[in-house]
Structure 1
Amino acid sequence: MSEVRRDIVVAGASAGGVEALRSLVGSLPADFPATVLVTMHLSAGARSALPMILDRSGPLPAAAATHGAPLRAGVVYVAPPDRHLLTDDGSVILTQGPTENGHRPAINAMFRSAAVTAGPRTVGVVLSGTLDDGAAGLRAIVARGGEAVVQDPADAVYSGMPSSALAAVGAARVLPAAELGGALDKMVRMPLEPADVPPPSRALLLEDRIARDGVRLGAVRPEAAQSSAAYTCPDCHGTLTEVASGQYRCRIGHAWSPEALLLAQDTEFQRAVWTALRSLDEKVALAERLEHDARHRHHSLLTERYAGTARECLAAANTLREFLLSLSDKPRAEDP
């Protein structure tokens, strides 16, 4: 019987993660005996140069992942924009499943997929980034017998994701980016000791199926839901349900952690206030035009009425403008 080794490395990064990924990939040897899958948060309409950057960073070939490509040892597959990067039966799977924490590709989706399909043969790596994407997925990898590796928060440009991962998985190996490649090379060459690994839980299988199937009605089933939350999904404005401790999904599958939900709600709130400010500015301009026309026709009552409307709207607009400018001075998590 051939020895079983860890042959799947899944690495997730967000803000500040390009340099960490370059260090990781650049320090892997040319004979690295495992497949490397990389997800970095990207905007849906973005064009990613990450495959080219990583291809030039070290001896391993790196390329944008394509649907159905076989998982090959010593190759780096990078998630393309607007697609979750998953695995299935020794192949790469790309899907347009629901966004998670507002992202597609999402790190949690890739980590959960590897946990389901490769179990103990998986090594999950969380690198620099804000908020907490990757923490829940890394916990799933460890629960299935896989290994967890986290960039030292002190070494990361943004420590949010590494710190959240360590809070979720206390047994993770913590290393600076420059030492990750060497550590991973040793880990994937060591034979796995036989161990009783629990099968994927129903909750894990459901989460993974949602990422594979795409947006669909009934993504949150009654048996998986813990409680209804009085929150609204920022993506589709549907009701969110708590499906795990601190994890929320809407009926069609968009997923949110509390931190990501808070940031998304803040963004939505500011967008609504800016819309109100624009409406007030337009109302001021229209009222001033009507005031001018009424004065030209010597309608004194209408002139005063429109002038009053313009003054009231201008005062409200100035109050909103000052409020929005004050928000811009407050620190907030960077958008990757």
Structure 2
Amino acid sequence: MVAVPAGRREVVVVGASAGGVEALRTVARSLPADFPAAVLVVMHLSPGARSALPLILDRAGPLPAYAAEHGAPLRPGVIHVAPPDHHLLIDDGSLVLTRGPTENGHRPAINVTFRSAAVTAGPKAIGVILSGTLDDGSVGLRSIVDRGGLAVVQDPADALYASMPENALALVNPECVLPAAEIGPALDKLVRRRAEDADAPQPSAALLLEDRIARDGVRLGAVVPGPDLPPSGYTCPDCRGALMEVGSAGRYRCRIGHAWSVEALLGAHDTEFERALWTALRSLDEKTALARRLRQDSERRNHGMLANRYATTARECAEAAETLRKFLFSLAAEQEPESQAPL
């Protein structure tokens, strides 16, 4: 096991989403065998799937990669990969796995691991954002920088999906912006640079609150509207509870603890809206079929006026369904995938 020199950067946390496998593989390939810091990797994964990501990264480069286990030591020179359906955190030199509330609809969530590194490692942490959609990781990366740590972001032009790097760059001033192939050598230089603990700002109350929620879930009275947690007027897509603003504007939590950024919240409501439209389309198709059946029954009974009324209903419903169907198909054609196959 590689020893961490006193006062040096000791934790590197890496977040990726859509398009991130190749970027992660490239970074792992370029890290040296004597890399003196622990590496934590978080990638959005389907909760019910087994992940091959540890094996992929283990084969990619000289550093061993393992699925993180609760209570295992945080080891320098090792890549610790967050497993599906668990948040990955750090506590007193050990790995912590929790099933705390989802963030932006994800568990594991990048922000959770980044905030944990900010709280526990402070200026000795380095956060890395790679390819992905939406903005998970941006606020967590800002937390690391606010605590005196460093930020590294994949060049959006080099990322398969540029949204995560672009959102991170809009929120932080990183140490460097690089193609994935150059991130490993840059990290090797940065972790060997001395970190000054004395000048590190203390964690904010909002940072400590969100870190505790991810660790412990919501205790009684943890997320209650008040001067520091004003109601937002929005509802949580996960549980329909009221959302409150946490920290800076554009960050929300419900009483249960589900967390949303404004961009992820918009995307979730888009999904909810589309689901409602598909439900409406199904109802229109069924109403059309029922009206046609009733028209046929009325014609057999020589109820002409009733048959005409059902025929009108069937025609109107069919026309509305066709309009709605075309709109939904146009939406599907415009959408790009937000994640890739489970790993």
What TM-score, normalized by structure 1, do the two folds share? 0.94
Q: Which amino acid aligns with 2:273?
A: F
Q: In the alignment, which of 228, 232, 257 is matched to residue 235 of structure 2?
A: 232
Alignment RMSD, CA only?
A: 1.8
Alignment partner of 1:74 is 2:41: no
Alignment partner of 1:206 is 2:209: yes
Larger mean Cα displacement after TM superposition, 296-305 or 316-325: 296-305
| CA displacement at 1:333 relative to structure 2 | 6.8
2:108 equivalent in structure 1: 105
Alignment of 1:278-297 (within 5 A): 278-297=282-301
Per-residue CA deviations over 1:269-328 (Å, capped at 9, x if unaligned) read 011000000011111112222222222233333322322221221122112112212323
| CA displacement at 1:255 relative to structure 2 | 1.0
For residues 127 and 282 of structure 1, do their structure 2 counterparts lie closer, same or farther at Cα, with a shift above 3 Å needed? same
Paired residues, number: 335
Q: How far apart are the structure 2 equivalents of 1:191 and 1:330?
A: 48
Conserved in 2, the CA contact under 8 Å of 1:129 and 1:160? yes
Conserved in 2, the CA contact under 8 Å of 1:166 and 1:172? no
Alignment partner of 1:51 is 2:40: no
Q: Percent identity of the aligned residues?
A: 70
| CA displacement at 1:332 relative to structure 2 | 5.4
1:264 equivalent in structure 2: 268
Q: How far apart are the structure 1 equivalents of 2:227 and 2:182?
A: 40
Larger mean Cα displacement after TM superposition, 224-233 or 111-120: 224-233
Alignment partner of 1:156 is 2:159: yes
Larger mean Cα displacement after TM superposition, 214-223 or 181-190: 214-223
SS at 1:48's partner residue? coil
| CA displacement at 1:133 relative to structure 2 | 0.9
2:259 equivalent in structure 1: 255
Conserved in 2, the CA contact under 8 Å of 1:145 and 1:197? yes
Q: How far apart are the structure 2 equivalents of 1:195 and 1:64?
A: 34
Q: Which runs of 5+ in 1 are unaligned?
A: none
Q: How far apart are the structure 2 equivalents of 1:10 and 1:267?
A: 30
2:45 equivalent in structure 1: 42
Alignment partner of 1:135 is 2:138: yes
1:167 equivalent in structure 2: 170
Q: How far apart are the structure 2 equivalents of 1:333 and 1:242?
A: 29
Conserved in 1, the CA contact under 8 Å of 2:114 and 2:140? yes
For residues 197 and 51 of structure 1, do their structure 2 counterparts lie closer, same or farther at Cα, with a shift above 3 Å needed? same
Q: How far apart are the structure 2 equivalents of 1:183 and 1:297?
A: 83
Q: Which amino acid aligns with 2:230?
A: S
What TM-score, normalized by structure 2, do the two folds share? 0.92
Conserved in 2, the CA contact under 8 Å of 1:216 and 1:253? no
| CA displacement at 1:189 relative to structure 2 | 2.1
SS at 2:89's partner residue? strand
Q: How far apart are the structure 2 equivalents of 1:231 and 1:333?
A: 26
For residues 179 and 90 of structure 1, do their structure 2 counterparts lie closer, same or farther at Cα, with a shift above 3 Å needed? same
Q: How far apart are the structure 1 equivalents of 2:267 and 2:102?
A: 15
Alignment partner of 1:308 is 2:312: yes
Conserved in 2, the CA contact under 8 Å of 1:203 and 1:224? no
